[in-house]
Amino acid sequence: MAGAAAHTEVFDGVTFELRPFAKEATNPDWVCVRKKPRLVQQYRALAEELQGCRMMEVGVDQGGGTSLFLKLFKPQQLLAIELSKKPVPKLMDFLAKHDNDDCVDVRWGVDQSDTDTVPRLVEETFDNTPLDLVVDDASHLLEQTTITFDMLFPRLRPDGVYVIEDWSSEHLMEARFTQEIESNPFGELAKEVANLDSVEYDTPLSFLICQLLVVSARHPELISSVHIEKSICVIRRGHADIDPTKSIVDYMGDLGRWMLNC
């Protein structure tokens, strides 16, 4: 592990090195987790409530998060899906050593927005039992993340938790670009931007967060709380039934749709 020293945490005898920008695979007794210390502390706080949970992880990458969740939450069942079709051997080695109860099921080559495959896998894994926790750290794209939310949020139990990571990444990136241009107005980046006729933006993931806030204001019985920090949004499910055939936008009301032009 060359380079600057990283923050480490030890959970259940395994060392987790928190390097959010490193792409290192999981090893049996040392795990590179691409999450910042503050984010891991938030998961630690959730784990105090959700020990032995029924959990779904959307987006596996190199397996650091999957390994962390196994040790931190000690889930009864954990279904993890990943778009890449190629399994990560070191993650599978880690699970072979540490998942003694075979509670983790990693499915490779699954698109998070696949409205046929994802519900089928959830049904196969959890039957009719509601989920306690969903973590979406997959595409970070608005359309795919919204489709996943519409599929999985209704499957949470009352007071269940839905986590969306890196919801603010586009805004942070824009701020960094702006700061660089302002600090070096004659640099190459400034020249490239100046030569553009216009800048076209895709609708950022934060748009979904705005929708969730509107729904929580209008229907607290559906979404009881939305807790936002820089890199994580934690949505708490209310106690009312949610129609699984509807999208989040269907609960926004005329005022919310007018406000967000959707």
Give the pLDDT confidence of 41-90 residue by residue, as tens digits.
Answer: 999 999 999 999 999 999 999 999 999 999 999 999 999 999 999 999 99
CB neighbourhood size of 221 (10 A):
14
| Strand blocks (E) in the chain | 7-11, 14-18, 30-33, 54-58, 77-82, 104-108, 131-136, 156-165, 223-229, 232-237
Average confidence (pLDDT) over 100-109: 97
Residue 181's pLDDT is what? Answer: 65
What's the distance, CA 207 to chain centroid? 15
Is residue 4 scored above 60 in pLDDT?
no
Strands of 223-229's sheet, edge to edge? 104-108, 77-82, 54-58, 131-136, 156-165, 232-237, 223-229
Is residue 2 scored above 60 in pLDDT?
no
pLDDT band (50, 70, 90) for residue 145: very high
CB neighbourhood size of 222 (10 A):
19
pTM metric for this prediction: 0.91
Q: What is the CATH number of domain 36-167+205-260?
A: 3.40.50.150
* 248 SS3 class: helix
C-alpha torsion angle, residues 137, 164, 114, 84 (rounded to 10): 0
Residue 21 φ/ψ, nearest 5 degrees: -110, 10
